[in-house]
Amino acid sequence: YEIYLNGMTGAVPRLPTDLSRLEELTERRLGPGPVGYVAGSAGDGSTARANRAALERRRIVPRMLRDVHERDLSVEVLGRSLPAPVALAPVGVLSIMHPGAEPAAARAAAAQGVPFVLSSASSTPMEEVAAAMGDAERWFQLYWSKDREVARSFLGRARAAGFSVLVVTLDTPLLAWRPRDLDRAYLPFLHGVGTANYFTDPAFRAGLARPVQEDPNAAVMHFVNLFSDPGNTWPDLAFLREHWDGPIVLKGVLHPDDARLAADAGMDGVVVSNHGGRQVAGSVAAADALPRVAAAVGDRLTVLFDSGVRSGDDVFKALALGARAVLLGRPYVYGLGLDGQPGVEHVIRCLLAELDLTLALSGHAGPATVGPADLEETTG
Ligand code: FNR
């Protein structure tokens, strides 16, 4: 509320409070390479556009004269109590946005009390990010390496570093066709920026013919070859269960049958997501998939959502469509690019303040009472 109340006294915030404006500002500040990588999507961008359209097509139908004087944004997610139904999504190579990189974003999340999901492809080793966060809630995103020893080693390290929930990303067995990166030959992984967890990993190093320092290019190519495994199938999930004793969430589920398979495999949750439109061009919009997945497994699994969230009302809509909480992607990355840790905190605070107001103005004192009846789907 500070931003809101300061506005009443004439104090102008350092960054815009409409988070959809951050991309353009960041591009002006940092140039087209880094922002092209972050903003870029698969193919012609149709999936990213569909993500926005599917949220915008749904309109909130506010209710009046309900007591919303006392409000509480907190939710239970995977057995933990969160102050709000929001976490920061795993995003690789944050050092291309800001020298503070993952620790700066993680500190911002910790300061605001929202979980930080650290990417396997982070530019900072997971132990350093954990050290920056103190006791704050942190989850680890796994790119499930082709080399099972590396995957096993990552799980052990993440556990030892205090990451509590495992988020396994299924939609990236290969990197998609992303024209904005291909046209500029801009793939930060290939320049060795998103490889910190790998280069510091004993199992990864054991697979190299020569030490990383002696042949960094060979090390990067080794990473590219093993970072994910297109050969995995549903029975392979048993490997993860065996090596992770906390909650496991599968990220990138869009089909209700896949959600059922996740539940059958003993998983704890799914993130309905199309990777922010970065993997399959022409894919179903994440917000269109969400109610179908929620209907299929909402009583068996924790259903989370990402892809296209840019405002508090988008969070509200995701809750109404069946999500327990959302992951926020690009907006916090731009906040980081523009102003480091304070920039990320600004983004989180704006999002939560706007969510709180949207709830109140729509007749809800908290997330628990939000449901399908709060939305109307328009054809336009
Ligand atoms: C991502 N995302 C992602 N997901 C993941 O599981 N591991 C990763 O390393 C990354 N890296 C990554 C980099 C960049 C630059 C972006 C924009 C996204 C996907 C991310 O977790 C999330 O699914 C989307 O960002 C959500 O969509 P929005 O909020 O960006 O529209």
Q: Could you tell me the distance, in angstroms and rounded to a whole number, from the CA of residue 307 to the centre of ligand 1? A: 8
Set 98, 275, 346, 364: catalytic member: 275
Whether 1 has a pLDDT exceeding 80, the answer reads no
374 occurs within a structural domain: no
377 occurs within a structural domain: no
8 occurs within a structural domain: no
Q: Minimal CA–CA distance to 329: which of 363, 297, 304? A: 304
203 occurs within a structural domain: yes
Which pLDDT score is estimated for 2? 81
Q: Confidence band (pLDDT; 50, 70, 90) for 119?
A: very high
Structure tokens at 70: 């006392």
Measured distance CA(322)–CA(331) in Å, rounded: 22
What residue has token string 């815009």? 16
More confident call, 332 vs 187: 332
Q: Are 201 and 154 in contact (CB under 8 A)?
A: yes
151 occurs within a structural domain: yes
Measured distance CA(62)–CA(73) in Å, rounded: 18
Residue nearest to atom 17 of ligand 1 (CA): 38
The terminus-to-terminus CA distance of the chain in angstroms comes to 33
Strand partners, 118: 140
CB-defined site of ligand 1, < 6 Å = 37-38, 89-92, 119, 121, 141, 169, 251, 273, 275-276, 278, 306-309, 328-330
Q: Could you tell me the distance, in angstroms and rounded to a whole number, from the CA of residue 70 to the centre of ligand 1? A: 34
Q: Are 164 and 247 in contact (CB under 8 A)?
A: yes
Which pLDDT score is estimated for 161? 98
- Angle CA(41)–CA(327)–CA(166) in degrees, nearest 5? 105
Can you tell me whether residue 189 is helix, strand or coil?
A: helix
Q: Confidence band (pLDDT; 50, 70, 90) for 240?
A: very high
Q: Could you tell me the distance, in angstroms and rounded to a whole number, from the CA of residue 91 to the centre of ligand 1? A: 5
Measured distance CA(208)–CA(154) in Å, rounded: 17
CATH at 38: 3.20.20.70
Whether 299 has a pLDDT exceeding 70, the answer reads yes
Provide the percentage of residues in the chain whose pLDDT is more than 70: 100
Q: Return the ligand 1 atom nearest residue 328 CA.
A: 29
Structure tokens at 125: 């080793």
Q: Could you tell me the distance, in angstroms and rounded to a whole number, from the CA of residue 101 to the centre of ligand 1? A: 15
Q: Which of 118, 278, 307, 315 to mutate to test the pocket of ligand 1 (most atoms within 8 A of CB)?
A: 278
Q: Are 19 and 331 in contact (CB under 8 A)?
A: yes
Domain holding 85, by residue range, is 18-58+71-364
Which pLDDT score is estimated for 185? 85
pTM over 0.80: yes
Which pLDDT score is estimated for 288? 98
Measured distance CA(111)–CA(17) in Å, rounded: 19
Q: Catalytic annotation on 255?
A: no
Q: Are 323 and 290 in contact (CB under 8 A)?
A: yes
Tell me what the pLDDT averaged over the chain comes to. Answer: 96
Give the other-Cβ count within 10 Å of 7's Cβ: 12
The ipTM value here is 1.00
Which pLDDT score is estimated for 363? 98
210 occurs within a structural domain: yes
Strand partners, 326: 86, 305
Q: Provide the CA 180 distance to its chain's centre, in angstroms.
A: 21
Provide the percentage of residues in the chain whose pLDDT is more than 90: 92
191-210 tens-digit pLDDT: 889 999 999 999 999 999 99
Q: Could you tell me the distance, in angstroms and rounded to a whole number, from the CA of residue 330 to the centre of ligand 1? A: 7
135-180 tens-digit pLDDT: 999 999 999 999 999 999 999 999 999 999 999 999 999 989 999 8
Q: Which of 275, 306, 326 to mutate to test the pocket of ligand 1 (most atoms within 8 A of CB)?
A: 275
198 occurs within a structural domain: yes
205 occurs within a structural domain: yes
305-314 tens-digit pLDDT: 999 999 999 9
Q: Return the ligand 1 atom nearest residue 306 CA.
A: 26
85-106 tens-digit pLDDT: 999 999 999 999 999 999 999 9
Number of domains in the chain: 1
27-79 tens-digit pLDDT: 999 999 999 999 999 999 999 999 999 999 999 999 999 999 999 999 999 99
Strands 86-88 and 80-82: unpaired
| DSSP H/E element including 152 | helix 148-160
Whether 380 has a pLDDT exceeding 80, the answer reads no
Residue nearest to atom 3 of ligand 1 (CA): 91
Sequence-distant (6+) residues with CB within 8 A of 342 are 14, 108
Which pLDDT score is estimated for 187? 86
Measured distance CA(232)–CA(70) in Å, rounded: 48
Give the other-Cβ count within 10 Å of 287's Cβ: 27
Residue nearest to atom 11 of ligand 1 (CA): 91
